Amino acid sequence: MIAGSGLPAFFRLERFDELDSTNEELKRRAAAGAAAGTLVWARSQSAGRGRRGRPWTSPPGNLYMSILLRPECGAGAAAQLGFAAALAVGEAVAPLLPASAGLAYKWPNDVLVGGRKISGILLESQAAGEGRLDWVVVGIGVNLASFPETSDYPATSLVAAGATPVSLEALLKAVAGRFLVWYERWLAEGFAPLRRAWLARAYGVGERVRVRLADGESTGRFAGLDEEGALLLEDGPTRRRIAAGDVFPAVR
């Protein structure tokens, strides 16, 4: 166990055997005034949630954690914290994986290994008025021991990808530690360093991709990220800025 707790002092760990969802628990605590740095960790979730209302299968053996933040920014900038979380997961798992494993970041916040999803991130926030946020909850799921066979994107786990064995406690500590590094960098320097690091390992940049949107799909060349983290999709002379969606390989 993370007795005492081995995490950077910023964090206050709240540990559970089972929750409905670590995001839900942390949102309840945020509404009750919990401090930034509160970190909720559950061994399993009975109602784990993914982006766009999708379920997140959450049996024991995988990592389910949520971090509460109270940055002084609006919702657009807070969305960049998803990149901080993806970088944190990538940097936590990279040393465990064979060099040939093929670690990549898939816009906006997924982490892939060998083209399969190993981690998903769910950001939720509450407005405080005047364009500011009261809180942001960064929910992070990492498939350590198992992965769902049925999901909208092929998945994998650290075990299936041949990673060096790691305990949930050590993985939690590594992800939280790397997240804090990127969060503090974002506070001090803005999004630019996160954007650079993310693009260095991004899936599909320069290639044709399909982007699933709330109201349909768009296909085009993934031309990179803008300064705020939106995806730039080119179709001939047209360049479109996409703030929310899911990337898939283009159907040939």
Of 111 and 221, which has the nearer Cβ to ligand BTN? 111
The footprint of ligand BTN on residues 46-85 (CB under 6 A) is 48-51, 54, 56, 64-66
Stretch touching ligand BTN by CB under 6 A, among 45-53, 179-187, 189-197, 228-236: 45-53
Nearest to 10 by CA among 35, 40, 30, 33: 35
Supply the minimum distance, in Å, between the C-beta of residue 121 and ligand BTN. Answer: 6
Q: What is the rounded CA–CA span in Å between residue 192 and residue 92?
A: 21
Supply the minimum distance, in Å, between the C-beta of residue 64 and ligand BTN. Answer: 4
Nearest to 128 by CA among 67, 183, 78: 78
Of 120 and 220, which has the nearer Cβ to ligand BTN? 120
Of 163 and 175, which has the nearer Cβ to ligand BTN? 175
Q: Beta strands 231-235 and 238-242: pairing type? A: antiparallel
Query: Nearest residue to ligand BTN, using CB?
Result: 120
Supply the minimum distance, in Å, between the C-beta of residue 173 and ligand BTN. Answer: 16
> Residue 98: what residue type?
P
Of 55 and 206, which has the nearer Cβ to ligand BTN? 55
The footprint of ligand BTN on residues 1-30 (CB under 6 A) is 21-23
* For residue 108, cis peptide bond before it (omega within 30 degrees of 0): yes
Of 21 and 157, which has the nearer Cβ to ligand BTN? 21
Contact assessment for residue 94 and residue 161, using Cβ atoms and an 8 Å cutoff: no
Of 65 and 161, which has the nearer Cβ to ligand BTN? 65
Of 38, 45, 125, 143, the one binding ligand BTN by CB under 6 A: 45
In this structure, the number of other CB atoms found within 10 A of the CB of residue 114 comes to 17
Contact assessment for residue 79 and residue 89, using Cβ atoms and an 8 Å cutoff: no
Of 69 and 221, which has the nearer Cβ to ligand BTN? 69
The footprint of ligand BTN on residues 80-139 (CB under 6 A) is 110, 120-122, 139
Residue 21 token pair: 């969802």
Supply the minimum distance, in Å, between the C-beta of residue 17 and ligand BTN. Answer: 15
Q: How far is Cα of residue 199 from the mean position of the Cα atoms in its chain?
A: 15
Nearest to 111 by CA among 49, 198, 220: 198
Q: What is the rounded CA–CA span in Å between residue 103 and residue 77?
A: 26
Q: How far is Cα of residue 53 from the mean position of the Cα atoms in its chain?
A: 15
Give residues in contact with ligand BTN (CB under 6 A): 21-23, 45, 48-51, 54, 56, 64-66, 110, 120-122, 139-141
